Amino acid sequence: DYKLTYYTPEYETKDTDILAAFRVTPQPGVPPEEAGAAVAAESSTGTWTTVWTDGLTSLDRYKGRCYHIEPVAGEENQYIAYVAYPLDLFEEGSVTNMFTSIVGNVFGFKALRALRLEDLRIPPAYTKTFQGPPHGIQVERDKLNK
């Protein structure tokens, strides 16, 4: 039951959180809060088995949090689940690491009939860790004839 750990409607997002909005269609019988919590868990620190390292780190420091869920207007059994991820969860300067964590494994989760990433906010604290093009944007545009 992910809801107890990963559904935190009292959570106030931080300026340093990566914020994602997922369109979620739960399987029949799965409450939207559980579906949103499952997305937060499976895309951050949740796992289906006990891991020996669980006692070595603080779950609260690294876990994703589903902090809000709202129904999609005009769509039956569809919700927008808002999930906040702490920067400590991700490797600095790695877009690959971030996207692998957020969208890499969660789309096959059985509690969901459908899932789509609708929006993603990446805070300046994280984007500043990206090196960018080594020659500057104009050189890159020239190479692409743009």
Mind listing the pLDDT tens digit for each residue in 38-83?
Answer: 888 877 765 555 554 555 555 666 678 899 999 999 999 999 999 9
Distance CA 67, CA 118 (A): 16
pTM: 0.79
Tokens representing residue 31 in the block: 């409450």
Predicted confidence band of residue 96 (pLDDT cuts 50, 70, 90): confident
Domains belonging to the chain, first-starting first, are: 1-144 (3.30.70.150)
| In the block, residue with structure tokens 């994602």 | 20
> Amino acid letter at 54?
D
